A = this chain, B = another copy of it.
Amino acid sequence: MLDVCLLGTGGMMPLPYRWLTSLMMRYNGHSILIDCGEGTQIAMKEKGWSPNPIDIICFTHYHADHISGLPGMLLNMGNADRTEPLLLIGPKGLERVVGALRVIAPELPFELRFMEITSPEQTFEFDGFKLKAFKVNHSMVCYGYTIEIDRSGRFDKDRAEKLGIPLKLWSRLQKGEEITEDGVTYTPDMVLGEKRKGLKVTYCTDSRPTDSIREAAKDTDLLILEGMYGDPEEAEKAVSKKHMTMQEACEIAGEAGASELWLTHYSPAMNWPDNYKDTVRSIFKDAHIAKDGYSKELNFED
């Protein structure tokens, strides 16, 4: 239902065996990409996912490892004769940065639209899902993102019958539509039970631990956080470079009540992130040392 794929798990620079961190999500015919570093288009092809249905690309910030793959990605989409507009979302400066990078991708057969994030927290609503940007704490302005899919309450057939609601309106009401027919207004709450648990995915890299991350990740089904450093001796470096350690990421996952944690954005100096598997699981049971192409299908609970 909500397909999630971490196309890469590297930080700073792409490596022969590790693409740069980028998250792709597919939901209801939409595809969303968060971050697009050098090589992301190759990682996507390797995974077998298509760039054509992408309607939104979000950027956490404008360090090269999060956006250097954009010109190639845009040209790739253009070569596939895309005509649908593409929405870009990112911190202030988005249009300026993308405009500069387009010096090598000036002609595109589709329109680029821009939504700049201007406040510490901002929500964008689309066809059935919400995308929320939240400000974090890095060496340049940086945002994390959550994608949320709400789930309405169960349809109450007995109540619908009792209220005499015409059968032909049931499915539209179930989908959340308000309908006026023959002078009577029918609202979804007349036939729907209590709202049920939806889906939530939270993504954040690069940042020090912040309350905004803990808040955004509250009860999230899947939390994706950077684990730039694994060795306890690198804790100071994490502070000075405004990154977080794997241990800090695990603590956030616990505090936020996340169901599952994927670590990513490993330092190029970290050859074997898997070495930290036991350590991270001792802090947060469902912590995963994610690998390139890690993916999962998230579904509503039964």
Contact = CB atoms under 8 A, between A and B. Distances in A.
Interface residues of A, number: 30
A50 to B, nearest CB: 14
Contacts of A100: 100-101, 103
Describe A's contact surface by its main secondary structure.
helix
A267 to B, nearest CB: 11
Nearest to A74: B64
A257 to B, nearest CB: 36
A51 to B, nearest CB: 11
Interface string A1-29: 00000000000111110000000000000
A71 B75 contact: no
A168 B76 CA distance: 62
Interface string A159-173: 000000000000000
A38 B72 contact: yes
A67 interface: yes
A97 B218 CA distance: 44
A176 B104 CA distance: 44
A197 interface: no
A45 interface: yes
B104 A104 contact: no
A183 to B, nearest CB: 59
Interface of A: 12-16, 38-39, 41-42, 45-46, 62-65, 67-69, 71-72, 75-76, 79, 96-97, 100-101, 103-105
